[in-house]
Amino acid sequence: MLSIPVFVGFHPITFPNPRMTSIRPHFDNPELIRDAAFVNGEWVRSSGSTFEVTDPATGQVIAKLPDQPVAVVDEAIEAASNAFKSYRKTTTRQRSAWLRNLFNLMTENAQDLGKIVSWENGKPLAEAVGEVKYAASYFEWFAEEAPRVYGTVIQPANPSNRVFTERVPVGVCGIVCPWNFPSAMITRKAAPAFAAGCTVVLKPDSQTPLSALALAYLAQKAGFPPGVFNVVLSHTKTPEFGLKLCKSPKIRKVSFTGSTAVGKILMQQSASTLKKLSMELGGNAPFIVFEDADLDAAVAQALACKFRGMGQTCVCANRLYVQRTVMDKFSAKLANEVSKFVIGPGLQDNVTHGPLINAKAIQKVEEHVQDATEKGAKVVLAGGRLPELGDNFYAPTILSNVPSNARVNSEETFGPLCAITAFDTAEEVVKYANDTELGLASYVFSKNIDTVYTVAEALEAGMVSCNTGLFSEASIPFGGVKESGFGREGSLHGIEDYTVLKTITIGGLPERL
Ligand SMILES: NC(=O)c1ccc[n+]([C@@H]2O[C@H](COP(=O)([O-])OP(=O)(O)OC[C@H]3O[C@@H](n4cnc5c(N)ncnc54)[C@H](O)[C@@H]3O)[C@@H](O)[C@H]2O)c1
Ligand SMILES: O=CCCC(=O)O
């Protein structure tokens, strides 16, 4: 019998400080902090109502921004539509140069941009700077892809015809993004759009708009012409803004990252104008550990995967399936590592894990924990709220023996709950893993290549990550299947979603000589 330490009943996590009420980072380049929307190359400060952006660590108001009227969406669409007329004709080399400039500017300002991400989103500064570099890498990648958009020459049945295809920019794109990656979720869409020759109207999340505005500021500095990148702001009228983007005949594509529920609304609303769509939606990632895996490595990767953004990423492990023979050992090792976390405001030195985004996020974690324990899950590490740090802090909870009917198995928790379930065979775990409407990321850990390969093949997911918990980078096609959405971002395919394939036939030609 293994002797398993169980951490039930106390929080072994260390805290750097008691609750803090105010943290204002120092910015080398204060110009990056904008207080207005950005339309047609101009900063727009409407005199009407405003909304507050708050630091999730302290609750402190960090910015007041215009809560714009819906009419601004029409203005931004008009600006983007006018800009498209000339921008689509720019050479791919020119667009590549602007993208490269923006990559360089983001890289030069990475520390400041990281502080903005950390301030408005809560993730630790090192992780936030990592996000900024990841975000910038999409501009580097698509600077390289811009000149590599190819067509084909086709052999038609009619000998007097000659036929070829070319990829042309789809047109003005409406982009809607979430708060969990305030920078990277935008650049993963804007970079291929700009590279393809499209113009953009972006509506960032009102909880994290400062990163989007800093990006607009740098895009202007990088040389993008007015109207190519427009950022509109709303807190109270988000659905109306979404509706405008979906219904406008001038917007030819809507690209959305967020929940499956909102994705479905936007898809319905886009039907009347038959928009091209990209939908990067929710996940419910299974993280499968076989008994022959390197257990220490699997634990380290589970930590990196599960606790990136304190569990608030679409590719975070949501369900951990561990082979029965090693489940207790794995759970104990995981709890031991989690107990080393230093939780606190992301901008504070040495903090490894920050707050959640808001009260609703904490409530969902609590509900999932309560539901699973009521249904018989065993508490390995009792986490819970950390009011001594602030309203949005939650120490991770680890549960094992989580029953299949627990809510966490069918819904994305999007927070720091590790829900571990035992399995016996590969067939059984593949059945568990695929028993969901979602299919974004999946993870498999085993030293046996036969196991890794056959399980990876059987998993219904857009992305399967084997023996690593971190796989995201600009070079890979990112996207889901089933109700996790469609479209691919990044990679050589990412630009295709911002183009349409046009066929040109030249008829009446003489026979070939
Ligand atoms: N697949 C991916 O690449 C990916 C990446 C990040 C996050 N996500 C998913 O996003 C979700 C978390 O983000 P969230 O809580 O911000 O999601 P959300 O769907 O609530 O919001 C996403 C964005 O849509 C906006 N929005 C909400 N209702 C809208 C409406 N009716 N019309 C137009 N816009 C509207 C929000 O303001 C926000 O900017 C999770 O499900 C996560 O898995 C997916
Ligand atoms: O939240 C989802 C995006 C995560 C990523 O790009 O790795």
For 400-434, the pLDDT digits (tens) are: 999 999 999 999 999 999 999 999 999 999 999 99
Ligand 1, atom 37: nearest CA belongs to which residue? 205
Where residue 12 falls among pLDDT bands split at 50, 70, 90?
A: low
For 155-184, the pLDDT digits (tens) are: 999 999 999 999 999 999 999 999 999 999
CA 98 to chain centre: 24
User: Among residues 207, 210, 177, 214, which one has the least CA distance to residue 193?
Assistant: 177
How high does pLDDT run on average in the chain? 96
* C-beta separation of 438 from 284 below 8 A: yes
Locus of tokens 């047109």: 171
Predicted confidence (pLDDT) at residue 3 exceeds the cutoff of 80? no
Where residue 23 falls among pLDDT bands split at 50, 70, 90?
A: confident
Where residue 338 falls among pLDDT bands split at 50, 70, 90?
A: very high
- Residue 167's pLDDT is what? 98
User: Among residues 107, 194, 101, 104, which one has the least CA distance to residue 146?
Assistant: 194
For 79-91, the pLDDT digits (tens) are: 999 999 999 999 9
Q: Is 398 helix (H, G, I), strand (E, B) or coil?
A: strand
- Residue 18's pLDDT is what? 72
DSSP assignment of 10-56, as one string?
A: S---B-SSS--S------S-GGG---SEEETTEEE--SS-EEEEE-T
- Output the ligand 2 site: residues, CB below 6 A: 180-181, 184, 313-315, 472
Atom number, ligand 1, closest to the C-alpha of residue 314: 43
Tokens representing residue 253 in the block: 């594509």
Q: Alpha helix (H) ranges present in 88-208?
A: 92-108, 110-121, 125-145, 184-196
Q: Which residues face 231 on adjacent strands?
A: 38, 202
* C-beta separation of 187 from 478 below 8 A: no
- Residue 427's pLDDT is what? 98
What is the percent of the chain where pLDDT is above 90? Answer: 94
For 478-504, the pLDDT digits (tens) are: 999 999 999 999 999 999 999 999 999
Ligand 1, atom 21: nearest CA belongs to which residue? 258
String of b and e for 453-475 (b: at least 16 CB within 10 Å)?
eebbebbbbbbbbbeebeebebe
Known catalytic residue at 412: no
Ligand nearest to the CA of 123: 2
CA dist., res. 175 & res. 168, Å (int): 19
CA dist., res. 76 & res. 70, Å (int): 10
Task: Write down all domains in the chain, each with its CATH number in brackets.
Answer: 32-281 (3.40.605.10), 285-472 (3.40.309.10)
φ/ψ of residue 72, rounded to 5: -65, -25
Q: Which residues contact 321 (CB under 8 A, 6 or more apart)?
A: 286, 287, 288, 289, 420, 421, 422, 423, 429, 432, 433
* C-beta separation of 72 from 248 below 8 A: no
Distance 258 CA to ligand 1 centre (A): 2
Predicted confidence (pLDDT) at residue 4 exceeds the cutoff of 50? no
CA dist., res. 455 & res. 426, Å (int): 7
- Residue 171's pLDDT is what? 98
CA dist., res. 104 & res. 113, Å (int): 13
Tokens representing residue 387 in the block: 């009011």
Mean pLDDT value of segment 299-319: 98
Q: Indicate the pairing of strand 153-154 with strand 199-203.
A: unpaired
Predicted confidence (pLDDT) at residue 461 exceeds the cutoff of 60? yes
CA dist., res. 34 & res. 53, Å (int): 12
User: Among residues 277, 360, 356, 349, which one has the least CA distance to residue 316?
Assistant: 356
Whether the predicted interface score ipTM is above 0.90? yes
CA dist., res. 220 & res. 297, Å (int): 44
φ/ψ of residue 486, rounded to 5: -155, 165
Distance 463 CA to ligand 1 centre (A): 20
* C-beta separation of 287 from 469 below 8 A: yes
CA dist., res. 139 & res. 132, Å (int): 11
The amino acid sitting at 64 is K
CA dist., res. 97 & res. 55, Å (int): 35
Tokens representing residue 296 in the block: 């220490």
Predicted confidence (pLDDT) at residue 22 exceeds the cutoff of 50? yes
User: Among residues 110, 104, 103, 102, which one has the least CA distance to residue 131?
Assistant: 110
Mean pLDDT value of segment 44-49: 87
- Output the ligand 1 site: residues, CB below 6 A: 176-180, 185, 205, 238-239, 242, 257-259, 262, 265-266, 280-283, 314, 412, 414, 440, 480
The catalytic residue among 78, 140, 280, 496 is 280
Predicted confidence (pLDDT) at residue 48 exceeds the cutoff of 90? no
| Residue 348: C-alpha distances to residues 118, 131, 292, 468, 486 (Å) | 10, 17, 39, 29, 38
Ligand 1, atom 39: nearest CA belongs to which residue? 205
User: Among residues 166, 122, 53, which one has the least CA distance to residue 389?
Assistant: 122
180, 188, 206, 234: residue to mutate for ligand 1 pocket, most atoms within 8 A of CB? 180
131, 134, 181, 183: residue to mutate for ligand 2 pocket, most atoms within 8 A of CB? 181
Ligand 1, atom 31: nearest CA belongs to which residue? 239
User: Among residues 227, 166, 213, 273, which one has the least CA distance to residue 62?
Assistant: 213
